[in-house]
Amino acid sequence: MSLSIKTPLLESLPLSQISGTKVWMKMEAMQPSGSFKIRGIGHACARHHARGAKRFLSSSGGNAGLAVAYAGRRLGLPVIVVVPETTSERARHLLALENAEVIVHGKSWFEANELARSLLTPEDAFLHPFDDPLLWEGHASMIDEIMADGVVPDAVILSVGGGGLIAGVDEGLRRNGLAQVPIFAVETEGMASYSASLNAGHLVELPALSGVATSLGARQVCPRAFELSKERPVYPVLVTDRQAVDACLTFLDDHRTLVEPACGASLAVVYGNAIDLKGFQNVLIIVCGGSTATVGSLKGFGNQN
């Protein structure tokens, strides 16, 4: 049983017009948990379930935790999600809606993660939000679907937080003979751990994170995300919080789909013409989604900036 769905691949006429080339959108916001995360996490949960896991544990109050909660409900297994005090009431509500047990602990994800790991028993499976080859294997399926739809991308634009999405997309491109297709890796200025690592030539841990794109909030990307930058063309791109939020609101008008600022970062690159895409024939944007985004929160972010 697949816990993720085949999502639409749509041509964006507004984004194509702005960029001067054909822009395709992989609509991962349409996934049942609200984001691309269910591809990898659903794949991992199904594997753990088949091996006899009796319970799932997670420490994410965002897209990853919601994907674990959804997978557990579908597979009939209990789920515990430990979240920090900063987790929004909406995220807690959505987790409870999926029948997950929510434990609030600590002021940061690090403290919540420590408690979650301390609860592990031999019968449990712990689902990391981004640093797990099983996740990348599951995320790669989105590229298989794109190829099956008859579109061969010659450039990919995606957002980077912890690096799970770029690792999965890289794997999907490789297994479809597209190992040299460039990837534009987008972050907001306050969450730019990947850009810092690429510029330094080694993994860098940021001392602090800031901004509205909280789903991009990893102080250091997973090692695989850094390694693949040596194996294929990867170009870091930075946008502001305001650009990311404005892109979400414009995208909602253009395509009737609500996404969070972490996803809006990638859209902002095209809306703002931040990179020259005219040399490409089929540009692919991963519309990665956002489980907890609301129109009110986006407008609230916009008023803060």
pLDDT of residue 301: 81
Return the ∠ at Cα 278 (arms to 249 and 197), rounded to 5°: 70
| Coil vs helix vs strand at 36 | coil
For residues 127 and 98, the answer to whether their CB atoms sit within 8 Å is no
CA distance 160 to 225: 9
| 192 located within any domain | yes
- Is residue 210 domain-shared with residue 237, that is, in the same domain? yes
pLDDT of residue 117: 94
- Is residue 150 domain-shared with residue 201, that is, in the same domain? yes
pLDDT of residue 200: 96
- Is residue 120 domain-shared with residue 221, that is, in the same domain? no
Domain extent for 120: 37-126
Residue finishing a domain among 97, 126, 155: 126
What single DSSP character describes residue 8? P
Residue finishing a domain among 100, 126, 152: 126
CA distance 263 to 258: 10
pLDDT of residue 88: 87
| 139 located within any domain | yes
CA distance 116 to 268: 35
For residues 58 and 283, the answer to whether their CB atoms sit within 8 Å is no
pLDDT per residue as tens, the chain (305 positions) = 789 999 999 999 999 999 999 999 999 999 999 999 999 999 999 999 999 999 999 998 889 999 999 999 999 999 999 998 888 899 999 999 999 999 999 888 888 889 999 999 999 999 999 999 999 999 999 999 999 999 999 999 999 999 999 999 999 999 999 999 999 999 999 999 999 999 999 999 999 888 898 888 888 999 999 999 999 999 999 999 999 999 999 999 999 999 999 999 999 999 999 999 999 999 999 999 998 889 998 988 866 65
- Is residue 151 domain-shared with residue 220, that is, in the same domain? yes
- Is residue 122 domain-shared with residue 46, that is, in the same domain? yes
CA distance 192 to 218: 9
CA distance 50 to 62: 25
Residue finishing a domain among 101, 126, 151: 126
pLDDT of residue 55: 98
**pTM for the full model?**
0.95
- Is residue 205 domain-shared with residue 263, that is, in the same domain? yes
- Is residue 67 domain-shared with residue 48, that is, in the same domain? yes
Q: How many domains does the chain have?
A: 2
For residues 236 and 185, the answer to whether their CB atoms sit within 8 Å is yes
- Is residue 32 domain-shared with residue 120, that is, in the same domain? no
